């Protein structure tokens, strides 16, 4: 599945890749939550974060907005779990009854982390899961 990104997102990808030395697979500019979401190549998330979060901090300072990093995955279930980090995800089940929905088992006390402030985490997860795996929705259980 090919993903198209805007010119602004391309510029932001180049900035982050130069700063972190990692491969960015996708970038979403989330104006509603004033954040930039980067999908980082599997196995490179630690380098993307940097020691003590320094790399992310430098990029956030340059952009003047929050940065969220998501580690890419081959399987839709792993992708959704990664997208909802830092919440502890016990299980992800993909149901294809008409719409494709990811049902995510998260402990009750981690629902807030999965959803994020003003829904920013789950919104980013839904958007990227749709772009990369044709998932129509994500529901927490």
Average pLDDT over residues 20-36: 93
In whole angstroms, give the CA distance from residue 73 to residue 59: 23
Global model pTM greater than 0.85:
yes
Mean pLDDT value of segment 80-86? 95
Cα separation, 66 vs 83, whole angstroms: 16
Over range 71-83, report the average pLDDT: 96
Residue 22 vs residue 4, higher pLDDT = 22
pLDDT at 1 over 80: no
Top pLDDT among 63 and 2 is at 63
**pLDDT value for 6:** 86
Residue 90: predicted pLDDT: 95
pLDDT(2) > 90: no
Burial 4-28, CB ≥16 within 10 A → b, else e: ebeeebeebbebbbeebebbbbbbb
- State yes or no: pLDDT of 3 exceeds 90: no
């Amino acid at each position: 599945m090919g993903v198209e990104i805007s010119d602004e997102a391309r510029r932001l990808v180049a900035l982050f890749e130069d700063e972190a030395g990692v491969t960015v697979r996708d970038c979403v500019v989330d104006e509603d939550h004033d954040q930039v979401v980067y999908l980082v190549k599997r196995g490179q998330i630690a380098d993307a974060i940097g020691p003590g979060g320094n790399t992310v901090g430098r990029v956030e300072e340059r952009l003047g907005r929050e940065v969220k990093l998501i580690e890419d995955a081959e399987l839709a279930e792993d992708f959704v779990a990664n997208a909802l980090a830092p919440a502890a995800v016990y299980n992800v089940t993909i149901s294809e009854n008409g719409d494709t929905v990811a049902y995510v088992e998260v402990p009750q006390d981690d629902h807030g982390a999965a959803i994020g402030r003003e829904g920013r985490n789950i919104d980013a997860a839904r958007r990227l899961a749709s772009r990369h795996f044709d998932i129509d929705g994500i529901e927490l259980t």
